[in-house]
Amino acid sequence: MGKMGFKKIDMEIVKIKLKKSNLLMKIYLILNNLFFKVFSIIKTTFRPLGKLRIIRYLIFAFLPDNKIFQTEINGVKFFINSSDNVNSKKIFVNKKFPQYEIFNNCMKTIEMNGLKVDHFYDIGAHYGNIGIPASVEYNFKSVHMYEPDLQNYEILSINSLINNRSNLFTYNYLIGDKEEISKFYIFKNNTAASIISNNEQFINKYIKLNNLEIDEVQSLKQVNFDDVINVVPENSLFWLFCQGEEIVILNSSKILEQKSIICFHYSPLINSKSSSQEELLVENLIENNYKKIYDLKENHNVSKEISVNTFQNLNEKYKSNGSHTILTII
């Protein structure tokens, strides 16, 4: 059996190694400190560039696809998607929420008519770019946001949670006029443009006109509005952005019977699949004692009469240039 022994430690070598180690640590700490000082200077120097719209435009353009990231608009924390070249891009580049100025005009019109809003229903809420800032600015008693696209709904739910508002409620429903299975088209470059249709010719035209890239086509179950919302409280405002289903939903629900204030997206192109519903809408509005229509893109202070002729004029006006508007009906 061999003899067990211990190697003699040369303390001079240990001291030299410790000195080297300490020197390396000091160098590391100095370089690390220098890096953060330089980084802080760079960050402070270039921060004003972030205020330039062109810089934000370039940043968004070079982001990787489908990157979910947070921005902030007037104190509202908000997650958006780098692949969404419409709403998300507008939010990041313009530092404001799309259609929110029009929503403010809607609220001015309501106030001008001596009415108030306690409960807000956002049908087709996308990421919450109307409902969430509105909940902060107008302090509604409740804000209910409905979004059919699951990924959009997940982002909507996160945006609701991170802003810590107790009056926000989110729902993952595809609201329509009846309960049925429909083709639901989701688009990669415009996540707010999702649409239901079983008409291939219409879809091809819609895709071409809006320069859309199909992400996927799902078979989703539509649910009737009245099956989702059992009770419509007084002083409710319904904001509908449903890609051509707005009038159909209004005609098939109890929204009008409750004399709720309604505001909805109106586009002759996508309304063409339900054009026969406009006359029925006029009948229902008159029957339920609605008096005024406001074209919020034209003049939110001037009303139009509720008539078939008014809708014919709106149709001709916005169809001629392939445009759209938002109507408030009181």
Exposure on the CB side of residue 329, measured as CA atoms within 13 A: 28
Contact at 8 Å (CB) between 190 and 210?
A: yes
pLDDT over threshold 50, residue 5: no
pLDDT number for residue 12 = 58
Claim to verify: residue 24 and residue 143 sit in the same structural domain: no
DSSP string covering 87-136 = HHHHHHHHSS-TTHHHHHHHHHHHHHTT---SEEEEES-TTTTTHHHHHH
Mean pLDDT of 98-108: 96
Q: What is the spatial distance between Cα 216 and Cα 41, in angstroms, rounded to a whole number?
A: 45
Mean pLDDT of 86-90: 97
Ranges 65-74, 125-134, 189-198, 268-277, most confident: 125-134
pLDDT number for residue 6 = 37
pLDDT number for residue 2 = 42
Claim to verify: residue 120 and residue 240 sit in the same structural domain: yes
3-state secondary structure labels for all residues of 186-202: EECCCCCCCEECCCHHH
* 61 in a structural domain: no
Claim to verify: residue 30 and residue 140 sit in the same structural domain: no
DSSP, collapsed to helix, strand or coil, labels residue 244 as coil
* 144 in a structural domain: yes
Residue from 118, 122, 114, 127 nearest 146 by CA: 122
- Neighbouring residues of 228: CB distance < 8 A, sequence distance ≥ 6: 146, 171, 173, 175
DSSP, collapsed to helix, strand or coil, labels residue 228 as helix
Is pLDDT larger for residue 2 or for residue 122? 122
Kindly indicate the confidence band of residue 39, based on its pLDDT and cuts at 50, 70 and 90: very low
Q: Phi and psi (nearest 5°) for 205?
A: -65, -45
pLDDT number for residue 37 = 63
Is pLDDT larger for residue 114 or for residue 269? 114
Task: Domain count for the chain, please give it.
Answer: 2
Claim to verify: residue 33 and residue 129 sit in the same structural domain: no
Q: Phi and psi (nearest 5°) for 195?
A: -150, 150
Kindly indicate the confidence band of residue 117, based on its pLDDT and cuts at 50, 70 and 90: very high
pLDDT number for residue 13 = 56
* 5 in a structural domain: no
pLDDT over threshold 80, residue 23: no
Claim to verify: residue 40 and residue 108 sit in the same structural domain: no
Residue from 300, 324, 311 nearest 106 by CA: 300
pLDDT over threshold 90, residue 218: yes
Contact at 8 Å (CB) between 227 and 174?
A: no
Which tens digit of pLDDT belongs to each residue from 148-190? Answer: 999 999 999 999 999 999 999 999 999 988 888 989 999 999 9
Residues constituting the chain: 330
pLDDT number for residue 270 = 84
Claim to verify: residue 175 and residue 229 sit in the same structural domain: yes
Q: What is the spatial distance between Cα 88 and Cα 4, in angstroms, rounded to a whole number?
A: 73
pLDDT over threshold 60, residue 17: no
| Pair of tokens at residue 14 | 């240990």
Claim to verify: residue 130 and residue 219 sit in the same structural domain: yes
- Neighbouring residues of 244: CB distance < 8 A, sequence distance ≥ 6: 195, 267, 270, 271, 272, 273, 274
Residue from 294, 301, 251 nearest 276 by CA: 251
Q: Is 65 left (phi over 0), alpha (psi -120 to 50) or beta?
A: beta
Which tens digit of pLDDT belongs to each residue from 236-295? Answer: 999 999 988 999 999 988 888 888 999 999 998 887 655 578 999 999 999 999 999 999
Claim to verify: residue 28 and residue 150 sit in the same structural domain: no
- For all residues of the chain together, what is the average pLDDT? 87
pLDDT number for residue 29 = 59
pLDDT number for residue 229 = 85
Contact at 8 Å (CB) between 117 and 86?
A: no
Q: What is the spatial distance between Cα 137 and Cα 117, in angstroms, rounded to a whole number?
A: 12
pLDDT over threshold 50, residue 1: no
Claim to verify: residue 166 and residue 249 sit in the same structural domain: yes
Kindly indicate the confidence band of residue 299, based on its pLDDT and cuts at 50, 70 and 90: confident
Claim to verify: residue 34 and residue 169 sit in the same structural domain: no
Q: What CATH number does residue 272 fall under?
A: 3.40.50.150
Kindly indicate the confidence band of residue 322, based on its pLDDT and cuts at 50, 70 and 90: confident
Ranges 17-26, 72-81, 222-231, 244-253, most confident: 72-81
DSSP, collapsed to helix, strand or coil, labels residue 234 as coil
Claim to verify: residue 100 and residue 41 sit in the same structural domain: no
Ranges 110-114, 199-203, 230-234, most confident: 110-114
* 63 in a structural domain: no
* 13 in a structural domain: no
Mean pLDDT of 3-27: 52
* 232 in a structural domain: yes
Domain residues for the domain of 28 are 19-47
Claim to verify: residue 190 and residue 324 sit in the same structural domain: yes
* 221 in a structural domain: yes
* 57 in a structural domain: no
Tokens 């006109």 — which residue?
A: 209
What is the percentage of the chain residues whose pLDDT exceeds 70? 84
